[in-house]
Amino acid sequence: MKRATLFLLAVALIIAAPHFIKQLMPLAPVTGTSMAPVLREGDLLKYEKTSPSEVKVGDIIVYRIPPLLQKSSDCSSIVAHRVVEIRGTTAGLYYHTKGDNNPAQDLWSVEYGDVIGKVSQRISYLGFPLLFLKSRSGLILIVIMFFASALCFYADELSQIRWKAPIFKHLAELLG
């Protein structure tokens, strides 16, 4: 019983760890070439929360794209692009952005409420592990690792079980 509790606690920590790491150190992996050569796919961006007055033309901001635009533009939910124009309206500040490698401005304006932060640091290639873990292959790897760790964790108990089906007897012999 003690082992099961420890195993479940370890699984919960592994599942919760990315959320807490993101809160302590806001990070975003680069997924595409729209900001090349300044930002390359697989780079990891560290960003800092910022006030509207601190965002200037030329800054690279990280922002959320509204769900309707995601579907129509086939973009990821979080984008890092350069601010090319700032407009103030009665409704608030709007930023016009553009990828350095794109020929034209983005078709949408970014409201300040959608801005997650301003890029403060780029770490080359460190975003690839995050991109892999977010992929289908990464998810499969995580599931396999959980099952393998559970088998290792409970190997003694599994070896002591007397299975009736021939395949289980063979498995018990392999483990025991």
pLDDT tens digits in sequence order for the chain, 176 residues long: 677 787 778 777 777 777 677 677 789 999 999 999 999 999 999 999 999 989 999 999 999 987 777 776 666 788 999 999 999 988 889 999 999 999 999 988 999 999 999 999 999 999 999 889 888 998 899 889 888 888 887 777 766 766 556 666 666 677 66
Distance from CA of residue 162 to its chain's centroid?
44
Amino acid type, 125: Y
Q: Taking the domains of the chain in order of start, what are their residue ranges?
A: 22-127, 135-176
Pair of tokens at residue 121:
């640091």
Strands (E) across 72-114 are located at: 78-89, 92-98, 109-111
22-127 CATH fold: Umud Fragment, subunit A (2.10.109)
Rg (the chain; Cα; Å): 23
CA distances from 58 to 2, 34, 37, 138, 144 (A): 56, 15, 15, 35, 44
